[in-house]
């Protein structure tokens, strides 16, 4: 056993003060931006500073752009908040995409079948209830499997996504206008029945208000309520939770009902408040992006405001450079990917530290 | 009415990308890494091959193409591309112990972005009017069937009419099964996936096994992308054409309960299910039901997933440490 002591070893850190851990993250983002700049220059031959300028232009270039940035951020934030209680419970709900889609589907169904038949206020109430219900059911199914038979939830929620997508595809063709177009078109364009109301004359404000309210309530729910405590105990150790007499099955099912229901609200906003139509790609993969947003924020609802902002900023900025410089829209995905890799990687340096072998140390 | 001789080759053509993805992901998952980046890896595998083929075709635009080079250049490009993706994933999840789900999803975003971006750039470079590039000459080498296939009637059509990558897919799946279940290396790999601490105590280098399994798995999966472009789509790359096959491959892993041999049959079944809606006579009035048929593979997979967890048989379970990072100093 004359194996040499390795050059370095890795030790778990105590909790870092917040400014240090955010400093590490900031360094990671800066390094990521430099790498992105280099890659942009290599692949497109553009001046990276111009590209960064265009990034900011894309997100904040005009009043309307700022509003759209905020609106997109709100939707992403709501989905991320929805997934968070499940994640805190170590229930990997990758099914946000599907839960949002069925919420959107339920909303669209109400708008199409009930539009103009009942008073608008009642219609919106029914839409809200059915969207939440649909999302909850989509969350409940994998939760029951997990609680009863310990079915791997990452995989089952993933499958639920595609079932939801095909369900939406099915109804898109059932409702298509005109026949053969494979799109639903703007629902109730003439009557605006079931369109969510505008707040203070701005069509962008409602999602933002809902997102802020959700953020605060989720923060309180997770931190100060009995439910929130139970969730974190189950997340830390299911055995401990069972030992102290918590009904883990009940907690899993209850939390996933909440998670799915809130995703349904995001679907309601997407259809009733923003797009007024339904497509299979209405959510554009935000159910997956939200997983990253929630994780990057270490499951803290307040921090999630910043992480969702970061992602949307990247998306909008990269969208801008795509149009400005005649690049393909997918360039955004590459840049987002690179930046995510760096942030994901830097978490290591927050939780661990590397200790070099000391000279003469045996 | 139902032409089975025409149906089977199409189903098998559909199944090959899935089988590559599935075999790759089984190897990866057996090491305890749940790589949700497989869809991205398959895109990268496809586009890397396309880039290689594109420049080789440009280089010998007037002259003849060397058959050996026409196959080897895209193949090596594809393998390198997916290997790099595998290394990124391992660096983050094994060395830096990042969360596997988040890393995998980021990889998918990144990989699909790479595929569509470079695909789009090449389309622009080639100056075509249609939003796709056709590499029909390279594809000619990839999809060349066995020479005597056309002379053997239905037998030739069903068994001999495929390009070499198709046979490679089946061969790789069989080899993977033998390695996993019949060799010492495979035993060690499964030990790493089930219980890394125990494996570590037994003197197995956990990190090295995870790296090798994941990178080889990614390279195999990347071949699925290459096969799709070069053979199935006859050399035509168009953005997003590969679709959700990567996710379907992950579903297939569950369906085949982590056994590449079952994966072979399951992938043919899935390939058939993927296109069966084309053969169901619904008529133009009932187009919507085709979308419901497309749901079948996912519903079936979910059913299998639940069923295996209900029966709770030891050998049919996911690897016990699937999705968890291993930290030696943390017991």
Average pLDDT over every residue of A252-256: 90
Using the predicted structure, report yes or no on whether residue B21 has a pLDDT greater than 90.
yes
pLDDT digits (tens, 9 = 90+) for A315-359: 888 777 777 776 676 777 788 888 888 888 888 888 777 777 665
Largest CA distance in chain B: 64
Using the predicted structure, report yes or no on whether residue B328 has a pLDDT greater than 80.
no
Band of residue B62 on the pLDDT scale cut at 50, 70, 90: low
Q: What pLDDT is stored for residue B147 in this prediction?
A: 66
Tokens for A214, please give them: 């959700």
Q: Which of A119-123, A255-259, A354-358 has the lowest mean pLDDT?
A: A354-358
- Residue B324 · residue B98 · CB < 8 Å: no
Distance from CA of B47 to the nearest CA of A (A): 14
**Chain A residues with CB-CB distance to B316 below 8 A:** none
Using the predicted structure, report yes or no on whether residue A51 has a pLDDT greater than 60.
yes
Using the predicted structure, report yes or no on whether residue A362 has a pLDDT greater than 60.
no
Distance from CA of A40 to the nearest CA of B (A): 12
B302 touches chain A (CB under 8 A): yes
Q: What pLDDT is stored for residue B128 in this prediction?
A: 61
What residues does each domain of chain A span? 65-297
Q: What pLDDT is stored for residue B40 in this prediction?
A: 92
- What's the pTM? 0.84
Average pLDDT over every residue of A202-229: 87
**Chain B residues with CB-CB distance to A171 below 8 A:** 288
HEC sequence for B200-223? HHCCCCHHHHHHHHHHHHHHHHHH
> Taking CA atoms, what residue in B is nearest to A285?
B109
Rg of chain B on CA atoms, in Å: 20
| B301–A159 C-beta distance less than 8 A | yes
Residue that wins the pLDDT comparison between B288 and B170: B170
Phi, psi of A202 (to 5 degrees): -115, 130
- The 8-class DSSP code of residue B318 comes to P
Name residues whose C-beta falls within 8 Å of residue B319's C-beta, 6 or more positions apart in sequence: B29, B30, B31, B32, B190, B193, B194, B258
A residues 143-172 closer than 8 Å to B (CB): 145, 149-152, 154-156, 158-160, 162-163, 166-167, 169-172
Band of residue B148 on the pLDDT scale cut at 50, 70, 90: low
Q: What pLDDT is stored for residue A1 in this prediction?
A: 42
Q: Which of A92-96, A182-186, B149-153 has the lowest mean pLDDT?
A: B149-153
> Taking CA atoms, what residue in B is nearest to A346?
B96
Give the mean pLDDT of chain A.
83
Band of residue A121 on the pLDDT scale cut at 50, 70, 90: confident
Distance CA B163, CA B141 (A): 8
> Taking CA atoms, what residue in B is nearest to A163?
B295
ipTM over 0.85: no
Distance CA A251, CA A257 (A): 10
A residues 329-358 closer than 8 Å to B (CB): 329-334, 336-338, 340-341, 344-345, 347-348, 351-352
Task: Please tell me the CATH code under which domain B4-316 is placed.
Answer: 1.10.3470
pLDDT digits (tens, 9 = 90+) for A6-44: 667 777 777 777 778 788 888 888 888 888 888 877 877
A291 closest CB neighbour out of B98, B101, B299: B101
**Chain A residues with CB-CB distance to B298 below 8 A:** 159, 162-163, 166
Residue that wins the pLDDT comparison between B160 and B165: B165
What residues does each domain of chain B span? 4-316
Q: What pLDDT is stored for residue B157 in this prediction?
A: 67
B280 touches chain A (CB under 8 A): no
């Amino acid at each position: 056993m004359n194996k040499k002591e390795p050059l370095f070893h890795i030790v778990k850190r105590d909790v870092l003060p917040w400014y240090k851990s955010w400093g590490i993250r900031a360094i990671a983002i800066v390094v990521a931006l430099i790498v992105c700049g280099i890659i942009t220059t290599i692949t497109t031959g553009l001046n990276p500073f111009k590209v960064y300028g265009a990034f900011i232009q894309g997100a904040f270039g005009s009043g309307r752009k700022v509003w759209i940035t905020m609106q997109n951020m709100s939707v992403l934030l709501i989905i991320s908040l929805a997934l968070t209680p499940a994640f805190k419970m170590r229930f990997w709900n990758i099914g946000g995409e599907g839960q949002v889609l069925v919420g959107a589907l339920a909303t669209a169904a109400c708008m199409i079948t009930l539009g103009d038949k009942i008073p608008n206020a009642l219609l919106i109430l029914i839409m809200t209830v059915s969207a939440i219900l649909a999302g909850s059911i989509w969350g409940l199914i994998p939760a029951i499997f997990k609680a009863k038979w310990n079915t791997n939830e990452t995989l089952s929620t993933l499958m639920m996504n595609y079932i939801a997508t095909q369900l939406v595809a099915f109804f898109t063709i059932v409702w298509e206008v005109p026949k053969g177009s494979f799109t639903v078109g703007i629902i109730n364009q003439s009557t605006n029945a079931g369109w969510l109301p505008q707040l203070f004359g701005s069509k962008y404000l409602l999602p933002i208000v809902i997102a802020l309210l959700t953020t605060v309530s989720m923060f309180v729910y997770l931190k100060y309520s009995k439910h929130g405590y139970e969730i974190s105990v189950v997340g830390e150790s299911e055995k401990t939770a069972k030992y102290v007499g918590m009904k883990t099955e009940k907690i899993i099912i209850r939390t996933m009902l909440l998670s799915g229901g809130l995703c349904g609200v995001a679907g309601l906003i997407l259809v009733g408040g923003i797009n007024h139509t339904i497509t299979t790609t209405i959510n554009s993969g935000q159910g997956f992006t939200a997983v990253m947003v929630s994780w990057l924020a270490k499951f803290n609802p307040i921090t999630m405001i910043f992480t969702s902002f970061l992602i949307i900023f990247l998306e909008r900025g990269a969208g801008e450079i795509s149009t400005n410089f005649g690049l393909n829209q997918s360039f955004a995905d590459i840049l987002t990917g690179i930046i995510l890799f760096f942030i994901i990687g830097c978490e290591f340096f927050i939780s661990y530290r590397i200790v070099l072998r000391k000279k003469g140390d045996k | 009415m139902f032409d089975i001789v025409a149906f089977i080759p199409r189903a098998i053509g559909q199944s090959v990308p899935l089988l590559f993805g599935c075999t790759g992901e089984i190897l990866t998952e057996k090491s305890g890494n749940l790589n949700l980046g497989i869809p991205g890896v398959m895109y990268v595998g496809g586009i890397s091959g396309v880039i290689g083929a594109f420049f080789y075709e440009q280089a010998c635009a007037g002259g003849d193409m060397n058959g050996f080079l026409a196959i080897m250049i895209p193949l090596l490009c594809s393998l390198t591309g997916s290997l790099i993706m595998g290394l990124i994933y391992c660096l983050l999840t094994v060395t830096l112990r990042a969360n596997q789900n988040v890393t995998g999803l980021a990889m998918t975003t990144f990989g699909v972005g790479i595929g569509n971006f470079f695909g789009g750039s090449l389309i622009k470079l080639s100056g075509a009017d249609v939003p796709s590039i056709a590499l029909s000459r390279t594809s000619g080498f990839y999809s060349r069937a066995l020479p005597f296939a056309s002379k053997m009637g239905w037998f030739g059509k069903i068994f001999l009419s495929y390009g070499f990558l198709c046979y490679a897919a089946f061969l790789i799946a069989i080899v993977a099964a033998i390695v996993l279940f019949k060799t010492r290396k495979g035993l060690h790999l499964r030990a790493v996936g089930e219980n890394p601490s125990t494996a570590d105590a037994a003197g197995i280098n956990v990190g090295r096994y995870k790296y090798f399994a994941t990178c080889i798995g990614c390279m195999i999966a990347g071949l699925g992308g290459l096969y799709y472009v070069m053979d199935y789509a006859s050399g035509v790359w168009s953005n997003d054409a590969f679709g959700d096959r990567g996710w379907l491959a992950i579903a297939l892993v569950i369906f085949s309960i982590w056994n590449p041999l079952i994966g072979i049959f399951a992938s043919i079944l899935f390939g058939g299910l993927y296109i069966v809606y084309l053969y169901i006579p619904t008529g133009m009035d009932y187009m919507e039901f085709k979308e419901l048929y497309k749901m079948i593979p996912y519903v079936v997979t979910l059913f299998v997933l639940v069923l295996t967890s209900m029966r709770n048989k030891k050998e049919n379970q996911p690897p016990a440490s699937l999705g968890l990072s291993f930290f030696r100093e943390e017991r």
